[in-house]
Amino acid sequence: MKNIFAALLSVASLVGASTVHATVYRLDFTASEFVGYRPAPAPEDVVSGSIVFQAESLDAPVTSIDAIDLTISGHVYSLTEIGYRDYGYLFFGGIVGTLSRVYSGTDDFWLAMTEDGGFRNFTYSTALTNSVFQSNTGTATVTELVAAVPEPGSLALILAGMGGLGVTLRRRRR
């Protein structure tokens, strides 16, 4: 009876394990035709970059930002300078002031996407200018990089179930 209970418990552990879809996405974007809020030419005519992030789906909030490849006027952005805000669409930005505002005279930016994943606008400023530059002209492509990854708790349940089956089989052999 004890062996049957152990076997049933092991099988239940394996069946009960679930997978959370922590999908990794890469967002590649290019913005052009910048207009300054003050009469100054934009230091960059074209800005291109990429952001790697994780979310359950493109409709779900971003759970982590894993990489950024963005350089504007010599400033190379790092992960410590970028954040995400959920407006019902993808919105990434620098965190110099507030996430949803770009201040002139700072190395800051934001990138907003449409609800269906298209390009909405890109806004930036540099520490060397006293203006903010915005573009409503650009392209964006979101690519899925990795398939579903088991949640750590699910992996633990699977291993416990396998271990339980192993113990049960070993006892039966004796």
Position 132 scores a pLDDT of: 94
Position 1 scores a pLDDT of: 54
Position 33 scores a pLDDT of: 95
User: Which residues does the chain have with pLDDT short of 70?
Assistant: 1-21, 97, 146-155, 165
Tell me the C-alpha to C-alpha distance, in Å, between residue 24 and each of 64, 86, 108: 9, 17, 25
Position 69 scores a pLDDT of: 98
Instruction: Report, in angstroms and rounded to the nearest whole number, the Rg of the chain calculated over CA atoms.
Output: 24
Percent of the chain with pLDDT over 70: 80
Position 139 scores a pLDDT of: 96
Position 4 scores a pLDDT of: 55
